[in-house]
Structure 1
C-alpha cells in the first residue's frame, strides 16, 4: 500500500492569517495520524509565511509516523533539517518567492550540488528524496546523485486528468519504471486530489508515498478531515 503523507502547510497558513494558535498545528498533525495518515509533510520557506522554522522543531514531539521536510536546500534549510533530523528530506528547487513548487530539479546541471547536499543529509541518517519531472534524463541524473528516492512532480498529470486526458499518466509510468530499474524509491506529489489519486496509484509501479496538502485540506472543509484522510487511504490501497 502506498503511504499517505499529509502536507499541513495550509493549516499553518490559516493559523498565521489570524495570529495566535488557532488552528493548533501540532494537534492537527497528531489528529491526522490518529485518523490514519501515515506521515506528516511540511515545506518551510524562508519568509515563514506558513510553516515556521520553529514548527519544524516542535513537530517531532507529536509526529509518531514519518516526518518529511521539503524545501530548497539553502543554508538555513540545511541547518534546520540537520538539527531536526526528520525521517525524510525532500529537496525542491523552488525560488524563495515562489507561491508553490513549479518544477523539478535539473539533475544534470545541479548534479554536483545535489551530490554534496544529499551526502550531508545521509551522513546524518536522513532519507533523501529529490523533486523531479517525469523526464528520462532527469531520472537518470537523479540516480547519479546518491538520493534514496525521487518525488515525481505530478502537476502535468493532474492538469491533463482534469481535462479528461488520461494519457498524461504515460510519462510518469515510464519515469517510474526507470526509477525502479535504478533502484530509486518513488514518491509523488503536487495537485493530487480525491479525483485523480486512485488512477495515478493504479498505474505507477512501486509507488511508495504520496504527499498531499492543498487539495486534501480544501476537500476537508466540505467533507471533514477524518473522513477525507480515510478516503485517500482507500484510493491508495
Structure 2
C-alpha cells in the first residue's frame, strides 16, 4: 500500500512548514547583492569597504561572528543615508534579477493552497524578502521571519540575524517553535533548521553539500534538486 508522505498527511491542525528563501525558492543571495550595490555606488564607500574587508571578511566566514561582519559592511553601505535605505531596498527587490527555483516553489504553492502554516525564514533583510515574495505571485502570502536592521552611529547595523541556530530562535520568538513538520533549505548553515524538522528536505544537487548535511541530519534527510 502506498503511504502518503508525512508532510501531506492531514492533521488536527495545519502543518507548520518552513522554507528558506535564497537558494531554496530563488537563485542567488539578494542581501549580498543589495549591500554590494550600496558599497559600489560611490568611490568613497568602495575605498572604505576595501579598508575594512580584511577585518570583516573573516568574521563573515564564522557562524558566531557573521552578524558582526555583516553589520560592519551594512554600516559602511548606509552611513550618511540611513533615511534612504528602505526605499533603496524596495528598489533593489523590485529590480533583482530573480530566477525562481521550481522544485521547492512548487511545493510552497501547494502547501499554501492546502492551508498549511507556511513560514519563509530567511537571512535576507525583511525589506528585501517582502519584495521578492511579492514577485512570486503566490496564492496567499506566507508568514515571513527574516533578518532585521536597526539604526546605529549614523547608519544601519543588523538587529536580528536569521541564519543557523539563530533562525530557529527567531522562529520561536515569532511564535513558531520547533519541532517543525517540514523544513526546506539549500545551505549547510541551516542544518539546525533541518535538524528541528520531522521531515528535513535539502534543496541541492551538490554532492559535497548533500554528504555534509546527511552526516549532520541522518538517513531520513530528503533531497530534492533545485
Using the size of structure 2 for normalisation, the TM-score is 0.28
Larger gyration radius, structure 1 or structure 2: 2
Greater relative contact order (CA < 8 Å, ≥ 6 in sequence): 2
Using the size of structure 1 for normalisation, the TM-score is 0.27
